[in-house]
Amino acid sequence: MAGDSRDFSIRKTLDQRVRAYFQSHDAGRIDEMKRWYADDVIQIFSVQVLGKIWKGKEEVIASHEKALADRKRRGWTIVTVPTWVIVDRGRITCRIERFYSEQTCKGIIKYTFLAVFDLDSTGHLTGESRDRNLRPFIEGQAKKLIDDLFWGEKDLASEWFDASISLVINLEQNPGVVFLGKDEAMGYFKNHDDKKDMEQKWYDWNIVLVTADRGRVTSYAEKLSVEFNENGAVSPIDKEVILITMDLNDSNKIQRMEYRVLRRDKIANHMPWEEAVAKLITKSVVIDYNI
């Protein structure tokens, strides 16, 4: 997989559409959901459980109708809250929290899901996963790679980078910062480490989520940093939220890698560094493939 993003200009629209999709789901408006589906759409839920794959528009719609009838019979009300939505290169990745409440019960049940939508050239949901059995391994290796690169270890990168890799850094903030080929990519990380070593800063790094599917690895991470002297921290904490995507070729080598800063915040702090880090980082999401 390679090439420029084909949906850069419509990301906001797709973000809004996927949120509207979940609203339609919660309200039981299946006709509105139909508009999303290509004729060959595939819906996968809990991929390790047999019978949870629906193929084709008719099967997918029938599954929604059955679930809606079951929900009405039980008296359930559902509210879905997308906590974040990432749109890029024909894929929408969402972390959602879904709340279930029953008319006769005072309690509320909450589930956390990862939802991935793959779009065809017309913006409909479509596609077949080719790396389902490898996902846990690829995700584990990707997490190790991202950690290693941040802390200056490059052995895994040297092994996993394709010879013709394209490395894109801060695409939206600095268009055109692209390193072509394995040597240039490795050189970028070496220069970045050298620069970091010269700074009077403390760093911490937290990987919130790593997910692999259809030749792409999507990662969501947080970087914390603060300037210090012999007396401790001397500035507000800088927090960056970073999206890291890796596109794999048929040999599962990384052919394209992108670091994109989604948000930067300066946070006033009067706590010791370790306590501040523990308070500011987001709890990591671990995908359980045995559900």
Nearest to 162 by CA among 246, 221, 244, 260: 246
Whether 2 and 255 have beta carbons less than 8 Å apart is answered as yes
The per-residue pLDDT for range 156-199, each reduced to its tens digit, is: 898 899 999 999 987 555 556 889 999 999 999 998 888 877 77
The region of weakest confidence among 25-34, 71-80, 133-142 is: 133-142
What pLDDT, on a 0 to 100 scale, did the predictor assign at position 176?
61
> Quick check: 2 pLDDT over 80?
no
Looking at the fold, whether 136 and 217 belong to one and the same domain comes out as: yes
Looking at the fold, whether 107 and 147 belong to one and the same domain comes out as: no
User: At which of 118, 140, 174 does a domain end?
Assistant: 118
Chain-wide mean pLDDT for the chain?
Answer: 82
User: At which of 91, 118, 145 does a domain end?
Assistant: 118
Looking at the fold, whether 149 and 191 belong to one and the same domain comes out as: yes
User: At which of 73, 88, 118 does a domain end?
Assistant: 118
> Quick check: 50 pLDDT over 60?
no
Q: Which domain holds residue 234?
A: 132-280
Is residue 289 domain-resident?
no
Is residue 287 domain-resident?
no
Residue 54's DSSP bridge partners are 43
What pLDDT, on a 0 to 100 scale, did the predictor assign at position 105?
65
Distances (CA, A) of 143 to 47, 88, 154, 244: 21, 20, 13, 11
CA trace torsion 59, 42, 138, 84 (10° rounding) = -100
In one-letter notation, the amino acid at residue 162 is D
- Looking up tokens 């970091």 gives 196
Is residue 286 domain-resident?
no
In this prediction, residues 205-217 reach a mean pLDDT of: 88
Whether 210 and 219 have beta carbons less than 8 Å apart is answered as yes
Looking at the fold, whether 151 and 64 belong to one and the same domain comes out as: no
Is residue 2 domain-resident?
no
Is residue 288 domain-resident?
no
The region of weakest confidence among 123-127, 158-162, 277-281 is: 123-127
Whether 226 and 238 have beta carbons less than 8 Å apart is answered as yes
Q: How confident is the model at residue 3 (pLDDT cuts 50, 70, 90)?
A: very low
Looking at the fold, whether 143 and 276 belong to one and the same domain comes out as: yes
The DSSP annotation for 148-183 comes to HHHTT--HHHHHHEEEEEEEEESTTTSTT-EEESHH
Q: How confident is the model at residue 273 (pLDDT cuts 50, 70, 90)?
A: confident
State how many domains the chain has. Answer: 2
Query: Which parts of 58-200 are beta strand (E)?
Result: 76-88, 91-102, 108-118, 161-169, 178-180
251: domain CATH number?
3.10.450.50
Whether 131 and 213 have beta carbons less than 8 Å apart is answered as yes
What pLDDT, on a 0 to 100 scale, did the predictor assign at position 16?
84
What pLDDT, on a 0 to 100 scale, did the predictor assign at position 219?
92
What pLDDT, on a 0 to 100 scale, did the predictor assign at position 251?
79
Burial class (CB within 10 angstroms; exposed 0-12, middle 13-18, buried 19+) of 218: buried
Looking at the fold, whether 266 and 169 belong to one and the same domain comes out as: yes
CA trace torsion 108, 48, 119, 115 (10° rounding) = 20
Looking at the fold, whether 164 and 233 belong to one and the same domain comes out as: yes
As given in the structure block, the two tokens for residue 119 are: 């779009």
Q: How confident is the model at residue 116 (pLDDT cuts 50, 70, 90)?
A: confident
Q: Rounded to an integer, what distance in angstroms lies between the CA atom of residue 162 and that of residue 158?
A: 9
Element (H, E) at 56: none
Is residue 291 domain-resident?
no
